[in-house]
Structure 1
């Protein structure tokens, strides 16, 4: 009952000639034809396997980034928050190299933000208590 499918490109003398197959000479299997006798294209969806989260994820320093943003330096803390979020996303996607890079950048930004905040706080306190507000314009 099953019909043999003819090859799209015939073998032998006409193998290099792409015009050798005529549309009427191709026989389609009964399962390939729809109920209107029109050819149906069956496409298998691509296989994409998401990577599993890392078993020992890189630290994301999210709490440290929030502290830096709220208490020390808002600009550097906000940048550190972005890298902390990217670290979490990379950890969840199983991308260790990207997670490690983002984690290291977040840590450096947090350290610099705390130092900048400490320097600004020290300058403000010196200006307020030692110089009686004459040194800094704010």
Structure 2
């Protein structure tokens, strides 16, 4: 029996749709025989896995990450931007737990970047206006 050129056989599924079973996916097991001493045909069902995005996606804080990158702290902002991208990808793949973890990390990094930016700007203003006057007026 040559199975290389035989057409797919239609088979009804449980969901009312007909599926094509290719003869290459049919395995004959001579060890297992039915009551008439004929080989039993075992067909492995196909598996369809879908990852639907969640109904309400986890926030990715992309705008906040861009702001903290450009205006506050470049290094921490870039890290937050990377986690925001990972959150967006996990949301698209339907992996809510990973998206929530990446989102929380991005939010923390953004907060730290803003605090570092405020401290840096405050120190610069303090130095520029207070300490520079001290040098010239002893």
Alignment of 1:62-77 (within 5 A): 62-77=62-77
Instruction: Describe the shift of the 1:47–1:107 C-alpha distance in structure 2 as closer, same or farther (beyond 3 A).
Output: same
Which of 3, 19, 24 is matched with 1:42 structurally? 24
Listed as ranges, the gaps of 5+ residues in structure 2 are 7-22, 26-43
Shift, 1:96, TM fit: 0.7
Taking only aligned residues, the RMSD between alpha carbons, in angstroms, comes to 2.7
Q: Which ranges in structure 1 are unaligned for 5 or more consecutive residues?
A: 1-27, 36-40
Q: TM-score, normalised to structure 1's length?
A: 0.65
Q: TM-score, normalised by structure 2?
A: 0.65
Moved beyond 6 Å, runs of 4+: none
Structure number with bigger Rg: 1
- Relative to structure 1, the CA distance from residue 55 to residue 122 in structure 2 (aligned partners, 3 Å threshold; closer, same or farther) is same
More strand by share: 2
Q: 1:134 to 1:66 in 2, by over 3 A?
A: farther
